[in-house]
Structure 1
Amino acid sequence: MAGGTWTTQNKVRPGVYIRFATGTGLGLTVGNRGTVAICEPMSWGPVGQVMTVVNGEDTTPYCGYPITDPGAMFLREIFKGTNRTAAPQQVLLYRPAADSAQAATGTIGTMTVTALYTGTRGNDITVVVTEDADDEGTFTVSTVVDGAIVDTQTGANISDLVANDWVTFSGKGAITASTGQALSGGSDGTVQAAAYATFLTTIEAYDFDILIYDGSDSATLTAMQSFVERMANDNGQYCQLVAAEMTNPNSRFVINNETGVTLSDGTELTAQQVCWWLGGAQAGAQYNQSLTYAAYPDAVAVEPVLTNSQIISAINAGQLVLIAENGQVKIETDINSLTTFTPEIGKVYRKNRVMRLCNTIANDIYQQFAANYIGIVNNNDAGRSQFRAAIVGYMIDLQGEQAIQNFSSDDVEVLPGNDIDSIIVNLAIQAVDSVEKIYMTVTVS
Structure 2
Amino acid sequence: MAGGIFTLHNKVRPGAYINTKSAKPIAKDDSRGTVLLMNGVQYGWGNNGIVELTSDSDFKSLLGVKSNDSSLLTVNEALKGATQVLLVNANDGNHAQYSDDSLPWKINAKYAGIKGNDITIDLIQDAVDNTKIIIKILFDFEVVDTQTISMNEPQYIQDNDYVSFTLDNSKTDKLKDFVGQNTVKLTGGTTNPVNDLSKQMNLLSDAMQKHHFTVATTAGFDENSNIHSLLVEMVKDLRDKQGLKVTAVVPYNTTKYDYEAVSVVENGVILQDDTIITSTVAAAYFAGKSSSVPLNQSLTYADYDNAKQSYPALGNEEIIRSLKNGHIVFTDRQQGGVVIEQDINSLVNFTDEKSYQFHKNRELRALDEIANNTKMVFERDYIGKSTNNAGGRNVFKGDRVEYFKQLIGNNVIDNYGDLDVSKGEEDDQVIINYSITPVDSMEKLYNTITVTR
Report the TM-score, using the length of structure 1 for normalisation.
0.80
Describe the shift of the 1:30–1:422 C-alpha distance in structure 2 as closer, same or farther (beyond 3 A).
farther
**Aligned-residue RMSD, C-alpha:** 3.3
1:31-70 map, 5 Å: 31-32=29-30, 33-40=32-39, 41-54=41-54, 56-70=56-70
- More strand as a share of residues: 2
What do residues 58-97 of structure 1 show as CA deviations (whole Å, max 9, x unaligned)?
444322345445454433322212xxxxxx3322233124
What do residues 261-308 of structure 1 show as CA deviations (whole Å, max 9, x unaligned)?
221112122211112221111101122111011111111122211111
1:127-138 map, 5 Å: 127-133=121-127
1:203 aligns with 2:203: no
- The aligned length equals 407
The residue aligned with 1:220 is: 227
Deviates more, 1:54-63 or 1:196-205: 54-63
What do residues 358-389 of structure 1 show as CA deviations (whole Å, max 9, x unaligned)?
11111101111112222333333333322222
Structure 2 stretches of 5 or more lacking a match?
A: 1-26
1:191 aligns with 2:231: no
State the alpha-carbon separation in 2 of the partners of residues 157 and 219 from structure 1: 59
Describe the shift of the 1:394–1:139 C-alpha distance in structure 2 as closer, same or farther (beyond 3 A).
closer
User: C-alpha displacement at 1:310, in angstroms?
Assistant: 0.8
SS of residue in 2 equivalent to 1:228 = helix
Describe the shift of the 1:132–1:414 C-alpha distance in structure 2 as closer, same or farther (beyond 3 A).
closer
Describe the shift of the 1:329–1:179 C-alpha distance in structure 2 as closer, same or farther (beyond 3 A).
farther
1:30 touches 1:361 (CA, 8 Å); kept in 2? no
Among residues 399, 402, 412, which one is paired with 2:419 in the alignment?
A: 412
Deviates more, 1:330-339 or 1:218-227: 218-227
The residue aligned with 1:437 is: 444
2:45 touches 2:114 (CA, 8 Å); kept in 1? no
User: C-alpha displacement at 1:116, in angstroms?
Assistant: 3.5
User: C-alpha displacement at 1:400, in angstroms?
Assistant: 0.4
Among residues 317, 322, 344, which one is paired with 1:335 in the alignment?
A: 344
State the alpha-carbon separation in 2 of the partners of residues 104 and 308 from structure 1: 55
Describe the shift of the 1:63–1:176 C-alpha distance in structure 2 as closer, same or farther (beyond 3 A).
farther
The residue aligned with 2:269 is: 261
Structure 1 stretches of 5 or more lacking a match?
A: 1-28, 82-87
Describe the shift of the 1:264–1:182 C-alpha distance in structure 2 as closer, same or farther (beyond 3 A).
farther
State the alpha-carbon separation in 1 of the partners of residues 242 and 393 from structure 2: 24
The residue aligned with 2:368 is: 359
Describe the shift of the 1:186–1:70 C-alpha distance in structure 2 as closer, same or farther (beyond 3 A).
farther
1:232 touches 1:238 (CA, 8 Å); kept in 2? yes
The residue aligned with 1:12 is: none
1:51 touches 1:92 (CA, 8 Å); kept in 2? yes
1:241-252 map, 5 Å: 241-246=248-253, 247-252=255-260
Deviates more, 1:423-432 or 1:352-361: 423-432
1:262 touches 1:302 (CA, 8 Å); kept in 2? yes
Report the structure number with the largest CA radius of gyration.
Answer: 2
Describe the shift of the 1:132–1:387 C-alpha distance in structure 2 as closer, same or farther (beyond 3 A).
closer
1:138-157 map, 5 Å: 139-145=133-139, 148-153=142-147, 154=149
1:75 aligns with 2:75: yes
User: C-alpha displacement at 1:229, in angstroms?
Assistant: 0.7
Instruction: Give 2:395's aligned amino acid.
Output: Q
SS of residue in 2 equivalent to 1:429 = strand
The residue aligned with 1:302 is: 310
1:113-132 map, 5 Å: 115-119=109-113, 121-122=115-116, 125-132=119-126
User: C-alpha displacement at 1:37, in angstroms?
Assistant: 1.3
SS of residue in 1 equivalent to 2:310 = strand
User: C-alpha displacement at 1:114, in angstroms?
Assistant: 6.1
Describe the shift of the 1:289–1:187 C-alpha distance in structure 2 as closer, same or farther (beyond 3 A).
farther
